[in-house]
Amino acid sequence: MQRLLAIASLILLPVLVGQSALRAEEPAIRPGEGLPLIDWKDAGKFIGKQVIVQGRIEATGRSKSIIFLNFDRQRSFTAIIRKNNESAFPKSPEAMYAGRLVQIRGRISTFKDKPQIEVTRPDQVTIVDKLGEPVSAGGDTPPSRQFEGIVSVATYNVLNLFDAHDDPYHDDEGTNQKPRAELERLAATIRQIDADVLALEEVENRGILEEFVRAMLSGMGYEHVVCYESNDGRGIDCAILSRFPVGPVTSYRHLRFDDGHGGKTWFRRDLLRARIEPPNSLAFDVYVVHLKSKRGGGESEDVRMAETKAIRQILDAELAKDPESRFVLCGDFNDTWDSNPIKQLRGDGDRALAAFFRDLPANTITYNKSPHQSMIDFIFCSPQMARRYVAKSIRVIEGTVASSGSDHNPVLMKFDVRPVAADSKGDATNRAAAASR
């Protein structure tokens, strides 16, 4: 029996190694890429933020559980290494770093009102010959943008924004990290969109999204990142990037609803909701969804019918409570304008959702991969939000994986959220047209 187990192990080992290797790649985004380089004396101005902090280790010390690397004799700023992480270092941290110029990557926290940074691995610390040029003490502040009440909202399925790490709690082994070339093309497309609020689909986790924003979208002003774990077995989530403050956030991933066949089902990914609060303007809600794909034929349509019915019920309840509710519903709906799930979602009458679909050129597509090119990504507007739609502002930026980094094309709309905007003549036209769009 032992011999059989040994043979089985030898047979399985290459398979297991091969599966592990699917995610054991060099990260497409380099560690620390895009992080601000700061002087240790400015660490207190970056509490809670990830940075690369630099200076000389002037003194070291130990307690029962912690090793201290002090940047001055007064312990004004300290790098700490917990004793249970010391084994990760090839020799004692004191011997490695005492008196050396270092740059340390990590998040600034506080202990007894003094800033500190925790080091768990030696690759967080780089010994340097000379210090670099730090950013200003005010931080890596993006250039100020003039906001005059017109907000742009976009939705974009970014095609497997995955990192290089295997998540043991999801079946992500079959999806490699997004290649750097695709990330760069994706970033260029997002810069072209230049949306104030960007709804995203197919994001693996908040960590890779924050890395992507930091490394490749610097200066875009996306200070607010919303990303909750979804129900998807592969780990793809819905997310939101916003230049404006974000208020309450709701995930509907745990909601159970009728499957249309006497049982219960759930959103295959999530329905994510976030309140967006532009300055001196009216707040509004952004819902993001990624409906079940068409894999599975008729069964998959049944799932999308159940999902859109549940969404419609959620939105109807909101509109019943407040007919003037301002919201947009963004996402990859995996179905076309005239499909049964989308017809059900759009609704009719006073609560019909508008999408201004007919403002686009004929044959516009958002899924760009042959042979299934079609328009399956939309931004739907509540009646009140439809009144604030900036006429003819909807656009789709066409591309391909080779040119834009995704198999979907982003959709963008603009809205006038100034408090007096609803009285304009253009909004009266939008009110009349909304139900037919």
Q: Do residues 342 and 352 make contact, with C-beta atoms less than 8 angstroms apart?
A: no
Give every CB contact of residue 64 below 8 A, 6+ residues apart in sequence: 83
What does 180-209 look like in DSSP terms, one character per residue? HHHHHHHHHHHHHH--SEEEEEEE--HHHH
Beta pairing class for 150-161 and 59-62: unpaired
**How is residue 185 written in tokens?**
């093309």
Give me the domains of the chain, ranges plus CATH numbers. Answer: 37-127 (2.40.50.140), 150-434 (3.60.10.10)
Cα–Cα dist 304/47, whole Å:
44
Residue at token pair 């509109």: 319
279: preceding bond cis by omega (within 30 degrees): no
Residue 243 token pair = 């230049």
Residues in Cβ contact with 381 at an 8 Å cutoff, skipping those fewer than 6 apart: 327, 328, 329, 353, 354, 355, 356, 389, 413, 415, 434
Q: How confident is the prediction along the chain (437 residues), in pLDDT tens digits per residue?
A: 444 444 444 444 444 444 444 445 688 999 999 999 999 999 999 999 999 999 999 999 999 999 999 999 999 999 999 999 999 999 999 999 999 999 999 999 999 999 999 999 999 999 999 999 998 654 445 566 789 999 999 999 999 999 999 899 999 888 999 999 999 999 999 999 999 999 999 999 999 999 999 999 999 999 999 999 999 999 999 999 999 999 999 999 999 999 999 999 999 999 999 999 999 999 999 999 999 998 877 789 999 999 999 999 999 999 999 999 999 999 999 999 999 999 999 999 999 999 998 899 999 999 999 999 999 999 999 999 999 999 999 999 999 999 999 999 999 999 999 997 554 444 444 444 443 45
Distance CA 411, CA 307 (A): 22
3-state secondary structure of 389: strand
Alpha helices in 22-113 (DSSP H): 93-97
Looking up tokens 């967006």, which residue turns up? 276
Q: Which of 95, 111, 128, 143 is nearest to 44 (CA)?
A: 111
The reported pLDDT for the residue numbered 364 is 97
* pTM: predicted TM-score of the whole model, two decimal places: 0.87
Quote the pLDDT of residue 18. 45
E strand residue ranges, 148-297: 150-161, 197-203, 224-227, 237-242, 246-251, 257-258, 264-265, 271-276, 284-290
pLDDT for position 173: 84
The Cβ of residue 58 has, within 10 Å, a number of other Cβ atoms equal to 14
Q: Is residue 371 within 8 Å of 339, Cβ to Cβ?
A: no
Alpha-carbon torsion (212, 183, 202, 27), positive or negative: negative
